[in-house]
Amino acid sequence: MSQRTAAAPDAGPASRPYPDRYASLTVEDRRTFAERGYLLVRGALDEPLRRRVEQAVDRVYAGEERAGRLGASGAMHVLGGVFRDEAFTELLDLPTTFPFVWGQLGWNIYVHHSHLDVNPPVAADEPPAWQWHQDGYRQNADLDMEPRPMFSLKVAYVLSDLSEPGRGGTLVVPGSQRRNTLERTEPRPDGRYPRPPGTVEITAQPGDAFVFDRRLWHSRSANLSDVTRKMVFLCYTYRWIRWRDDVSINRHGDWWRGLSPLRRQLLGDGDEAASHFGFTLESGVWDDAIPLRSELKSRGLLDRSHHYLR
C-alpha cells in the first residue's frame, strides 16, 4: 500500500483501492482525508462491475424517461437510488472503497441517502447559478459550532469518462470542511459566478471513485462536452440519524433475504430502537450482534485510539 497512482494535476490526491473490505486505513490516507476532505480512489470498479452498474443506471434512466420525470435537458437525479436495482447492492460494502467508510465513521453506520445522476451535455448559455453547498441540510443550521461534526461521508462512483475538465466533474475546495461558510464570489457582468479561490475539479476515469466529507464545500459543474456524465452516490451516516430518502423495504422478499447481514445493516436493518444507538437494552453495553461491529471485533480491528471504533 505504499505506492500511489499519480493523479491528474487538477484531480487531487489519489489512493490505490484497498484489497479487502476489512483492510485498515493507511496513515497516509487518513491524514490526506483529514487535511483535504476528500480522496480519489483509482480503479475502484473493475470493468465488469462498472458495466453492470452503468447498465443499471441506464435501466433506471429509461424508466424515468418513460414516466416523464427527467429534467429539461434530459438530466436525472434519483433519490434512494441504491434500492432501484439489485446491481447497486454490490457497491454497499465494496472491498476497494469500504475501508474508507468504516475507517472514518466506525461500525454503527448505514446508507441513509443515495442518488443516481445522469447529466447529458448542456448548452453553454445555461442560466448561471450559485450551486456551492455542504451536504446535510438542517445539520448545517441546527448545530451552533465551528466546525460542525462530519456526521456522514459520500462515496461517488464515476461511470463515465470524466478525465478532462468541462465534463460536469465535481468541484471542491480542499480543506473547506473545516469552515462553516464559503464566501460567495461576485458575479461577472454576464451573471456567472467565478469559482471560489482554490477550487479543484475532480477529474476521473470510468471506474474511479472519490470519497468526501459531507462538510466539504462542493458543486457540480456544467457538462459542456459530448460525454454524458453518469454517477452513483452512496452517503453513509450513523444509524441514529434518520433516513434522508423515502424508501420502502420488503423484508420478506427474496432479494432482502438473500442479502448478507452486513448489507442488511447498511440498508437500515435493526432489531430494536436501541440497536441504532449501538447497544442493547438488556445489557446496556455495545451490541456485538451488529454485523459490522462483529466482523471488526473478530478481526481485532476495534481500536480505542479512534473513539468511533471502540
- Tell me what pLDDT residue 127 has: 78
Q: 214 in a domain, yes or no?
A: yes
Residue 286 in domain: no
Domain annotation covers residue 276: no
Q: Is the pLDDT of residue 2 over 80?
A: no
Domain that residue 24 falls in: 14-271
- Our count of domains for the chain comes to 1
Q: Decide if pLDDT at 6 tops 50.
A: no
Q: Please say if the pLDDT value at position 161 is more than 90.
A: yes
pLDDT top residue among 127 and 32: 32
Residues 102-117: what's their mean pLDDT? 98
Q: Per the domain annotation, does 240 fall within a domain? A: yes
DSSP labels, 113-162: EEEEEEE----TTPPP----B-S-GGGGTS---SSPP--EEEEEEE-S-B
What is the pLDDT confidence band of residue 12, given thresholds at 50, 70 and 90?
low
Q: Using 50, 70 and 90 to split pLDDT, how confident is the model at 8?
A: very low
- For residue 101, give the CATH number of its domain: 2.60.120.620
DSSP-derived secondary structure letter, 16: P
Choose among 1, 16, 11: nearest CA to 204: 11
- The mean per-residue pLDDT over the stretch 217-244 comes to 96
pLDDT of residue 272: 83
Query: Is position 203 within any domain?
Result: yes
Average pLDDT over residues 37-54: 97
DSSP symbols for 170-199? EEE-TTGGG-S--PPPPP-TTSPPPPPTT-
DSSP 3-state assignment of 88?
helix
Indicate if the pLDDT at residue 150 is higher than 60: yes
% helix, strand, coil for the chain, step of 5: 25, 20, 55
pLDDT tops 80 at residue 7: no
In a domain, 299, yes or no: no
pLDDT in tens, 224-234: 999 999 999 99
CB atoms within 10 A of CB 195: 15
pLDDT in tens, 245-261: 999 888 899 999 999 99
Instruction: Count other Cβ atoms within 10 Å, centred on residue 174.
Output: 17
Residue 6 lies in a domain: no
User: Is the predicted pLDDT of residue 187 greater than 70, yes or no?
Assistant: yes
State residue 125's pLDDT score.
Answer: 66
In a domain, residue 135? The reply is yes
Q: Residue 242 contacts by C-beta under 8 Å, 6 or more apart in sequence?
A: 112
Chain-centroid distance, C-alpha 224: 24
Which pTM was predicted?
A: 0.94
3 pLDDT band, cuts 50/70/90, is very low
